[in-house]
Amino acid sequence: MPRSNPSPDDGSAAIEVLVLGVLLLVPLVYLVLTVAALQSASFAAEGVARSVARSVALAETDAQGRRAADAAARVALADWRLPVGAASVQVRCAPRPGDCRTARGTVDVRVRVAATLPLLPPAIGLRSPGAVPVEARAVQRVSMFAAAP
């Protein structure tokens, strides 16, 4: 039986649900994309730090270790689809800073990766407010049987 006096609000619930759904869904999707980008940069920084520290500590010579570290950093960044320029790598060695192959020494690697926020134009650089720095550190002990120079 049809109603004799239709209300002016009939059918507006579907429009309200649709509008509110979109208004709530868009920020939620952006939040998920942002967290995924930050997590990806975090994994990349951790992987680069670990790979570089192991490459330097296990190499035959300090020069070979530095070359292997560069290659390991490029591969680890490529695994996470990050450009090489998005990361800065610092390698410090103890007890002698000039030689990482000192027996029982340590190789301390610090990596900083700039995670760009999603949906920002590429014209905005990695040093801009649209990039979040993510840092990681790895320390690797050099074997006590490492060949001294």
- pLDDT at res. 134: 93
- pLDDT at res. 127: 56
- pLDDT at res. 31: 93
pLDDT above 90 (res 91): yes
Distance of CA 32 to the CA centre of its chain: 15
Dump pLDDT digits (tens) for 108-138: 999 999 888 888 776 555 556 678 889 999 9
User: What percent of the chain is predicted at pLDDT more than 70?
Assistant: 85
pTM of the model: 0.77
- pLDDT at res. 147: 61
- pLDDT at res. 4: 61
Dump pLDDT digits (tens) for 10-53: 666 777 788 888 888 889 999 999 999 999 999 999 999 999 99
Q: Where are the alpha helices (DSSP H) in 59-79?
A: 62-79
Taking phi over 0 as left and psi of -120 to 50 as alpha, with beta for the rest, 104 belongs to left
pLDDT above 70 (res 87): yes
DSSP strand E in the chain: where?
87-94, 106-116, 131-141
Whether the Cβ atoms of residue 51 and residue 77 lie closer than 8 Å to each other: no
- pLDDT at res. 139: 95
**Mean of pLDDT over the chain:** 84
